[in-house]
Structure 1
Amino acid sequence: MPVLHSVIHKIDKKPDGNPAILHRSAGELVENQVRDELISQFNESYNAKPGKGWGFFHAESGAHPFSGWLSNYLAGTEDFMEFSNIAVEHLQKLMEESNLTVGGNVLFCHYRQGMTDYLIIALVQEAEAVVMTDGLTLQPIRRLDLDSIFLAARINLSEWKNNPASKQYVSYLKAKKGRRVTEYFRDFIGVQEGIDGPGETRTLLKAFSDFVESEDLGEESAREKTDTLVSYAMSKAKLGEPITLDELSEVLDDDQPKAFAEFVLGKDYGLSASIPPDKKTLNKFRRFTGRADGLSISFDQHLLGSKVEFDEAGGTLTLRKLPTQLTDQLKRASA
């Protein structure tokens, strides 16, 4: 993962109404192992954060100038330091106007992963830590707290340039401290919500359940495919990459690699060709199975409360919208 350019500026701002003070870096971060490990650790922490938003840039304007500055940098009319300086000045101004957040260390990093270029922007706080010195004494230090980042975004620069119609080339964290904080940072970058990650993931899982039902798979086969889907989707989430329908379809069935993709495209699910995986939604997806005395039951968790109703006191399940094949068999048996 080559780091092309990186810098950290600092904004001092207290929640007391006083002006924010900007400390500009004199230059880019020095190319060394410490810098590379910092960026690697940031990406691991960022990828692990649940509930991200996905979107695309507003048209460049006075209210949303960031994409214009970024375009100038990528075109070579401004260098990386010029770009980061004007961007962090804009962030400082928005901080003072909104008064919604304290300051912190502002990280800008342009890096390449495989054939794809990314830009990450994050407000990183500091935390107290203790280290052991060579003389075996304890020494307090301040470290960058990468585990507690709540304002950050990652821009897929390659997709933005090569597929400008995309609505998911920017991902950003949704702050737990409130919607207004997230919106303030989104306004800084000039991004609008495009793809609903949790909603798209839920729709994908619904399409998968319908597919399993239509294939009339056995219990073991259905469970294996469910495990395969969740494993694939989680691996993509860990890497910060989208799920692609074609690739998922191939992973689900080597013998019929296009079956699932064709099933989805043939139905009115409205899914995108690539889907940002939502880890929280995926964590809730599993199959309930049970077999006893000639009775075998298997269904996906998300059907509980809709097609499947569980009466805990009575120990019964109520099934709704039975598969047509099962309904036909029952009708014939009762005739």
Structure 2
Amino acid sequence: MELKHLAIRELLKEADEETAKISDKGGIMDTDNSMIHNLFESLLNAFERRSSLTHGSFNQENEEGYPFISSFEKFLVNEEAPENFEQLVEAGMSQLAAAIAAPSARSATGGYVIFAVYGSDRADYLLAALVRDRSSIALNDSLQPTEVIEVNLEQLHQAARINITTFKQGKDSYLSFIGSKQKGEITHYFSTAFGCTDVTPSRKSTGELIKAAKDFCSQHDLGEKKEEIVEDVVSYLERQRSEKQTANLNDIENLFDAYIPPEQAETMAGTFGTFANGGPYNVSHEFQPHTSTINRFSKLKAKADNWQLDFTKKALGPAQSGKDIEFDEASGTLTLKRLPSKVLDQIRATLEEENG
């Protein structure tokens, strides 16, 4: 990874305070400094270990309400200029101070905010993260224990990463962000400050989840169980939707783990969440199941001049499959089996009317 810019600033706020202040300390750091590189690597590793990422894009319909967005676009005009990066950092800190002081984030506390622009052969990124310090123990020259304060880079309280390359290409989901696992709007102040309110649409997360389920089965020797597993995933989404509940990758991961053979459990158990949350699927850790997308995967609807079909796909199979609805490719016919008594009565009554 090439580290292009890095800045460290401090956001001052205690829990339940109504205001937040930006410290005069810190600023742009020397990226040639080995300690700065070590700090950046630790920060990046901590971010990439997080599996509960939410993906999305800027709320560009309301850029005036989120000044960071326009500041980011101005930065892209000349990414190499340190002064452009410094202006971007100042805009970010200003928005953070306003967001963390909002009533919904009143109990949140400040910390050190690290901004880093870096890149590889595949993409360039902007990463912004909030970290705090912790006390530790060291030995002085006389080998006496002494307390030291160190930055806790292992625990990210809030973070947002913008895929600069994807943003320039005009694609969706160029944004990934994390928050604490607490419930409530306090977890969203960091992403809100940067205009990261347009998270992955439920339609996209729903569709990509089902695609990830199929690919995971194919890549992990679960091909024979793929149809059954995908049906379970779709059923889970339908159940969550009908109960007006969100879908959660942890729940779906547990569903997958139940199908993993014991001999593969050590390497495969607990991995589906990370698989679906990462690229190319970028399924949000939690999302609302999308009705029409679920129906597209779970139901088959067809219509002709004199009839129409509407049934669940799991009821369909080829001839001699034993499914309730069988399709014979050779004759081009569809056979309905095990018709309920009520349906049979309706058919008989209709035929009697036609023949009477």
Q: Which TM-score band (shorter chain)?
A: 0.5 to 0.7
Q: 1:149 to 1:325 in 2, by over 3 A?
A: farther
What is the one-letter code of the residue matched to 1:327?
S
User: Which string of whole-angstrom CA distances, capped at 9 and with x for unpartnered residues, describes residues 240-263 of structure 1?
Assistant: 9513xxxxxxxxxxxxxxxxxxxx
> Secondary structure of 2:28's partner?
coil
Aligned mates of 2:176, 2:73 — CA distance in 1: 18
Task: Tell me the C-alpha RMSD between the 2 structures.
Answer: 3.8
Q: 1:138 to 1:62 in 2, by over 3 A?
A: same
Aligned mates of 1:30, 1:235 — CA distance in 2: 39
Residue 21, structure 1, aligned to residue 24, structure 2: no
Q: 1:37 to 1:151 in 2, by over 3 A?
A: same
Larger radius of gyration: 2
- 1:169-208 superposed matches below 5 A: 169-191=174-196, 192-194=198-200, 199=206, 202-208=209-215
Residue 64, structure 1, aligned to residue 66, structure 2: yes
Match for residue 160 of structure 1 among 163, 167, 172: 167
Partner residue in 2 for 1:256: none
| 8 Å Cα contact 1:55/1:171 also seen in 2 | yes
Q: 1:92 to 1:135 in 2, by over 3 A?
A: same
Task: Using the TM superposition, name which of 106-115 and 69-78 deviates more.
Answer: 69-78
Q: 1:223 to 1:136 in 2, by over 3 A?
A: same
| 8 Å Cα contact 1:51/1:198 also seen in 2 | no
> Secondary structure of 1:147's partner?
coil
Partner residue in 1 for 2:120: 113
Q: 1:322 to 1:141 in 2, by over 3 A?
A: farther
Match for residue 138 of structure 2 among 128, 131, 143: 131
Aligned mates of 1:18, 1:27 — CA distance in 2: 25
> Secondary structure of 1:81's partner?
helix
Match for residue 157 of structure 2 among 130, 134, 150: 150
TM, length-normalised to structure 1: 0.63
Residue 242, structure 1, aligned to residue 279, structure 2: yes
What is the one-letter code of the residue matched to 1:7?
A
Task: Using the TM superposition, name which of 169-178 and 18-27 deviates more.
Answer: 18-27
User: Which string of whole-angstrom CA distances, capped at 9 and with x for unpartnered residues, describes residues 195-244 of structure 1?
Assistant: 5697456412443459935999xxxxx989xx8xx97x969959x9513x
User: Which string of whole-angstrom CA distances, capped at 9 and with x for unpartnered residues, describes residues 111-165 of structure 1?
Assistant: 112241100111111111112234322221112222221311111011101x21x
Q: 1:65 to 1:278 in 2, by over 3 A?
A: closer
Task: Return the offset for 1:84.
Answer: 0.6
Q: 1:53 to 1:82 in 2, by over 3 A?
A: same
Could you list the runs of 5+ residues in structure 1 that have no partner in the other structure? 217-221, 244-274, 281-319
What is the one-letter code of the residue matched to 1:23?
S
Q: 1:324 to 1:61 in 2, by over 3 A?
A: same
Aligned mates of 2:21, 2:153 — CA distance in 1: 22
Could you list the runs of 5+ residues in structure 2 that have no partner in the other structure? 228-258, 287-313, 327-356
Q: 1:213 to 1:30 in 2, by over 3 A?
A: same
Match for residue 282 of structure 2 among 273, 276, 280: 276
What is the one-letter code of the residue matched to 1:5?
H
Match for residue 327 of structure 1 among 302, 321, 329: 321
Q: 1:212 to 1:14 in 2, by over 3 A?
A: same
Partner residue in 1 for 2:338: none
Aligned mates of 1:278, 1:193 — CA distance in 2: 8
| 8 Å Cα contact 1:236/1:242 also seen in 2 | no
| 8 Å Cα contact 1:6/1:110 also seen in 2 | yes
Aligned mates of 1:95, 1:26 — CA distance in 2: 20
Partner residue in 1 for 2:75: 73
Aligned mates of 2:223, 2:64 — CA distance in 1: 50
Task: Return the offset for 1:325.
Answer: 7.4
Q: 1:278 to 1:26 in 2, by over 3 A?
A: closer
Identity rate of aligned residues, in percent?
A: 19
Aligned mates of 2:63, 2:137 — CA distance in 1: 46
